[in-house]
Structure 1
Amino acid sequence: MGKRRPVFKMYSYGEYSGWDRNSSEIPKILDFSTDIKASIGTEFGYVLHIKNGKGEILEFKIDHPPFTDDEGNIRPPFTGEQFIRTNDYQFYLGDCIWEPLEDKLGKWEITTYYKGEVVAHKIFNLK
């Protein structure tokens, strides 16, 4: 019998409470919306609930408005991987606004992939 394919469900999306990256706790949803009133420290993104995915790896990309790094180069999209630790797993993917605020405004596109296939996708408009 072959391994079952994981099941992905977007549990929530929008603005969240602050997120501690060192904690296993998922941030609390404050507002379900893709229009985010941006200020320094605003946390936004989505939570995926994943069943039957233990041991699998997700890939993600956060495409953002053009802003520069400390050397003046345009920052590429943020990319990474997430290891699924349990068969009943929650995964928060998002970002937090930092200074300067002006270059973070606009369209943020957040996408999660499983084996190259899009399993979650949201576009947020930061204003």
Structure 2
Amino acid sequence: MAKRRPTFKIYSYGEYAEWDRTSKNIPKILEFSTEIDAKIGTEFGYVLHIKNGKGEKLDFQIDHPPFTDEEGNIRPPFTGEQFIRTNDFEFYLGDCIWEPLEDKLGKWELTTWYKGQVVAHKIFNLK
């Protein structure tokens, strides 16, 4: 019997409650929107629901407005990978706004790939 192909669906997107990065729990959605009223501590992103993907890997990237690190260099996009741990898996991709607020405003583009193909993509405007 052939292995079933994973399915992907964005379950929610927008502004979320503060996320405990040490917890397995997904943050609670506060408002569905791609227009985010940015304040220090605002959490935003999307939740991707994956079925039949246990043992597979996702790659992700967060493109953000140009801001600098401690040495004054422009930060590259955030990238990473996530392993799918169960056959009914939720993956939260997002970020939280930190100081200084001014250089975080603008377009944030969040993308998730599975085997080189885009399976989720959202653009958020932080204002």
* TM category, shorter: over 0.9
- The code of the aligned residue for 1:88 comes to D
Q: In structure 1, list runs of 5 or more residues that go unmatched.
A: none
- The code of the aligned residue for 1:104 comes to K
1:4, CA displacement in angstroms?
1.2
What does residue 117 of structure 2 align with? 117
Query: 1:73 is paired with a residue of what secondary structure?
Result: coil
Residues 53-72 of structure 1 aligned to structure 2 (within 5 Å): 53-72=53-72
What does residue 35 of structure 1 align with? 35
Residues 1-127 of structure 1 aligned to structure 2 (within 5 Å): 1-127=1-127
Q: In structure 2, list runs of 5 or more residues that go unmatched.
A: none
Query: 2:113 is paired with a residue of what secondary structure?
Result: strand
- The code of the aligned residue for 2:89 comes to Y
- The code of the aligned residue for 2:121 comes to H
Percent of counterpart pairs with the same letter?
A: 83
1:5, CA displacement in angstroms?
1.0
For 2:90 and 2:117, locate their aligned partners in 1 and report how far apart those are by CA, in whole Å.
19
RMSD: 0.4
Query: 2:50 is paired with a residue of what secondary structure?
Result: strand
For 2:83 and 2:21, locate their aligned partners in 1 and report how far apart those are by CA, in whole Å.
15
How many residue pairs get aligned? The number is 127
Structure 1 residue ranges (4+ consecutive) displaced by more than 4 angstroms after TM superposition? none
For 2:69 and 2:90, locate their aligned partners in 1 and report how far apart those are by CA, in whole Å.
31
For 1:2 and 1:102, locate their aligned partners in 2 and report how far apart those are by CA, in whole Å.
51
- The code of the aligned residue for 1:90 comes to E
1:56, CA displacement in angstroms?
0.2
For 1:55 and 1:98, locate their aligned partners in 2 and report how far apart those are by CA, in whole Å.
33
For 1:6 and 1:20, locate their aligned partners in 2 and report how far apart those are by CA, in whole Å.
27
